[in-house]
Amino acid sequence: MRHAPIDPQLFITNRANLASQLLPNSLAVVNANDILPTNADGSLRLRQSSDLFYLTGVDQEETILLLYPDAHDGKFREILFVREPSELLAIWEGHKLTKEEARKTSGIQRVEWLTEFRQIFHRLICESEHVYLNSNEHKRAVIEVETREARFVAETMQRYPLHDFQRLARVMHRLRAVKSEREVELLRVACAITKAGFERVARFVKPGVNELELEAEFAHEFIRRGGGFAYNPIIATGKNACVLHYIENDQPCRKGEMLLLDVAANYANYNADLTRTIPVSGRFTRRQRQVYNAVLRVLRAVSAAATPGKLTKDWQKEAESFIEKELVDLGLIKMSDIRKQDPDKPAFKKYFMHGVGHPLGLDVHDVGLTVEPFRPGWFLTVEPAIYIPEEGFAVRLENDILVQEGGNVDLMADIPIEAGAIEDLMNS
């Protein structure tokens, strides 16, 4: 475990919040993710199910959480199932959680070996009236590989076809969207590690440096602080920045170019998300600064506009109106273009074609019911941009905000963003 131990009260509270949302006499089951294969006998590192981690803090494969809040016998209300350690496992795979370690991590008092799950699950499902099963219901998910959770759902519904099955994902989306104080503390650490990485790289950038060298600098800073990359880093110089998800990161940075850095840290499975665009030579040209300041104005306006009670679609429209005005002032579009535009293909889309932000947390594009109004405690990215392929550069800026009554909190407010502050940092 690279991160510091997490107070299990976080997971105890999360389970209590979930239990309060279930129908009477309901059973809920959440599975760990699979360890995914690569080629030959290779495999990836485990990326734990965010829902299981949210509810238990356990970051180990083949783990199952069973919740039955209304169980007649109190010892069946919360049960955690984990792999039984052995000498063979210790030799080949390393340490596995003991029952006591699993209790300490999760705050769940009853821990059983995984081999006991089937018998206990059958007993309890026969006593329950409703069964909550989990699935990936993120609206942008592309699901081509069957997960452990999906296999469990299919098997359970086949074995117990007369039960009333409920969607756990919808309940989890609503709960996970609102971040607790303990979660915000972990997110602050992820943001602090991100700041350290960005400042290290900003001082390192100069003409002739390769994008891959910059990725290595980020990795050095993130890993030594107990973190890692929250997502595949985007390190894009010049025209590369006009490719929204550029990840080759293998080109030299040239004098006079702009460099887009969409790179952030993960800490204890919680993710930051940062973008800065900086001049390779350490000084903005007049035109680069014009575009940069335009995007910065939009970021600040949109950050303030993410108020409780507002719908995501209305927030997006506000952002687009701010961008549209800046594009006119920059001479990129004309008022006549706006007057004659196809409403389904507005003129600004040539230079700004994506969403202005998204929920953030245990997943980079975190779950949340985005058709519902913002609520205090939502954690959002704010990422306006202007892409100008014909001029060979783009500017995207991104900070992470916590939605609050009376004014939002920017968890990246201490990371340099003003054009002058960027120049000072690069030349310090």
* Fold of the domain built from segment(s) 181-426: Creatine Amidinohydrolase (3.90.230)
What is the C-alpha to C-alpha distance for residues 144 and 150, in angstroms, rounded to an integer? 11
What is the pLDDT averaged over residues 235-239? 98
Which residues are CB-contacts of 374 (< 8 A; sequence separation ≥ 6)?
A: 306, 307, 308, 309, 310, 311, 312, 315, 380, 403
Mean pLDDT of 21-30: 98
- pLDDT score recorded for residue 189: 98
On the 0-12 / 13-18 / 19+ scale of CB atoms within 10 A, 383 is buried
Residue linked to tokens 């000084």: 283
9-177: CATH architecture: 3-Layer(aba) Sandwich (3.40)
Radius of gyration over every alpha carbon of the chain, rounded to an integer in angstroms: 24
Calculate what percentage of the chain has a pLDDT beyond 90.
Answer: 99
Segment 234-252 mean pLDDT: 97
Mean pLDDT of 373-389: 98
Residue 376 near residue 404, CB atoms below 8 Å: yes
Average pLDDT of the residues of the chain: 97
pLDDT digits (tens, 9 = 90+) for 248-290: 999 999 999 999 999 999 999 999 999 999 999 999 999 999 9
| pLDDT given at position 29 | 98
pLDDT for 384-412, tens place per residue? 999 999 999 999 999 999 999 999 999 99
Domain boundaries, the chain: 9-177, 181-426
Q: State mean pLDDT over 358-385.
A: 97
What mean pLDDT do residues 13-19 have?
98
For the whole model, what pTM was predicted? 0.96
pLDDT at residue 39 above 90? yes
Q: What is the pLDDT of residue 205?
A: 98
Contact 272, 187 (CB under 8 A): yes
- Measured on CA atoms in the order 353, 359, 360, 362, is the torsion positive or negative? negative
How far apart are the C-alpha atoms of 306 and 375, rounded to whole Å? 10
Segment 414-426 mean pLDDT = 98
User: Mean pLDDT, to the nearest integer, of 235-255?
Assistant: 97
Q: How much is the pLDDT for 55?
A: 98
Q: pLDDT, tens digit, for every residue of 43-89? A: 999 999 999 999 999 999 999 999 999 999 999 999 999 999 999 99
Count the residues in the chain.
428
pLDDT for residue 1 is more than 90:
no
% of the chain beyond a pLDDT of 70: 100
**pLDDT tens track for 158-201:** 999 999 999 999 999 999 999 999 999 999 999 999 999 999 99
Q: What are the tens digits of pLDDT across the range 302-334?
A: 999 999 999 999 999 999 999 999 999 999 999
DSSP 302-326: HHHH--TT--HHHHHHHHHHHHHHH
Collapse the DSSP code of 49 into the 3-class scheme (helix H, G, I; strand E, B; otherwise coil) and give the result: coil
